[in-house]
Amino acid sequence: MPETALLSDLNDRSREVFRRVVESYLATGDPVGSRSLTRDMAVSAATIRNVMQDLEYLGLLDHPHVSAGRMPTQLGLRLFVDGLMEAGPVSASDREMIEETLGADRGDTGAMMDRVSMALSSLTQGASLVLMPKQEAPVRHIEFVSLAPDRALVVLVFADGRVENRVFTPPPGHTASSMREAANFLNAFAEGRTLGDLRHGISREIEASRQKLDQMAAALIASGLAMWDSDGSDPRLIVRGRANLLAHELADLDRVRVLFDDLERKRDIAEFLELAEQGDGVRIFIGSENKLFSLSGSSLVVSPYMNADRKIVGAVGVIGPTRLNYGRIVPIVDYTAQLVGRMISGRKG
């Protein structure tokens, strides 16, 4: 049954009991008993227990261990976040702390983003993730250098003076002539384009020039530029506040170790941005919905930010236990993403 249908099928009493159980659990981390709800609801504990049993049957609540209390399931948390959660505005103190991260050195994007990440971690008591925008200068020159029959170097010189090189495995049978042809072809096509532009347009350009371009040179181009997509690390991701997670999950250190390992290796960074790009504004991934950190059973709240051309260039997020204070963290992440977008675009207000 779709989650929206589940929510609409609940009567007012069931919805209210469900909401109170989830809110209490998110605030305390403890299962909620029927007796504690009778203080604020004009119904008996027996009635509330019956409602809780119905909600458990629907898969929205769970009955952990021998505890008399209930806690929300992953489905229950999703239903609450999508249909019942009330996300208030960012408080004045939270807004002030985020805005103070701008500092005086706004020209140093790296330092500014590091402060943003630290502020997010401090405010949310989770681990913060900040994916910095790529600073791609146009390519000025490309060269292929043979190192051995099975090893070659592709060298890129950018318009801002930066030089990058990477070793790759060239196609068998490559020659000095095919390397020169590949470099000449790329240099003619690369003028004024960034590396990202090259990646997206090179296949069409090779196809259009198939009769002119040697097959070996085409294979060299494809394998050489592919190296910039195959690197597993990405220094653009800033992670802060890992220690905060220990305070939340002392009862399950194995999960924390898995999560720490994922964060340390900064794996699947491209997917982190991809998650943010799949929808406007803040996205929430709960437990196993979060394919980046699903083994640790954590939740991720993430929002993209845009440059002056309204193009998504990065993302900010918070990762923590499923017992996050979503109502407070969602607006914080949203506000931070909007603020970062304004900063890197030079927009005011």
From residue 275, alpha-carbon distances to 27, 69, 196, 303, 316 in Å are: 27, 35, 19, 9, 11
pLDDT, position 192: 78
Domain ranges of the chain: 3-84, 92-135+235-346, 139-229
Domain spanning 139-229: CATH 3.30.70: no
Rounded Cα distance between 257 and 262, Å, is 9
Structure tokens at 103: 């500092």
pLDDT score of 250? 46
Residue with tokens 């800033």: 238
Round to whole Å and give the CA distance between 51 and 69.
13
- Topology of domain 3-84, CATH: Arc Repressor Mutant, subunit A (1.10.10)
pLDDT (0 to 100) of residue 167: 83
Q: How many CA atoms lie within 13 A of 41 on its CB side?
A: 23
- Judged by DSSP in three states, 124 sits in helix
Strands 127-131 and 163-168: unpaired
Tens-digit pLDDT string for the chain (349 aa): 455 567 778 898 999 999 999 999 988 888 898 888 887 788 888 999 999 999 999 999 998 776 678 999 999 999 999 988 988 899 999 999 888 886 655 556 777 888 899 999 999 988 898 888 766 678 888 888 888 888 888 888 888 777 777 788 888 888 888 888 888 888 887 777 877 777 667 777 777 766 666 777 777 777 766 655 544 345 577 888 877 877 665 446 676 777 777 666 655 555 666 666 666 688 888 887 766 666 567 888 999 888 877 888 888 999 888 888 899 999 999 999 999 888 877 655 5
Superfamily of domain covering 92-135+235-346: GAF domain (3.30.450.40)
**DSSP-derived secondary structure letter, 70:** B
Query: What local confidence, expressed as pLDDT, does residue 322 receive?
Result: 85
Report the pLDDT value the prediction gives residue 81, as an integer from 0 to 100: 92
Let me know if the fold of 92-135+235-346 is the same as that of 139-229: no
Considering the entire predicted model, what is its pTM? 0.70
Place of tokens 């960012």: 90
Structure tokens at 181: 């042809």
For residue 155, give the H/E element and its range.
strand 151-158
Residue 29, sorted as left (phi over 0), alpha (psi -120 to 50) or beta, turns out to be left
What phi, psi does 227 have (nearest 5°)?
-60, -30
Q: Of all helices (H) and strands (E), which one includes residue 303?
A: strand 299-306
Q: What is the per-residue pLDDT for 226? A: 63
Q: What is the pLDDT of residue 223?
A: 72
Confirm if 210 and 285 have CB atoms less than 8 A apart: no
- Cα–Cα–Cα angle for 265, 268, 273, rounded to 5 degrees: 125
Helices 12-28 and 74-83 meet at what angle, rounded to 10?
110
How confident is the model at residue 266, as a pLDDT? 57
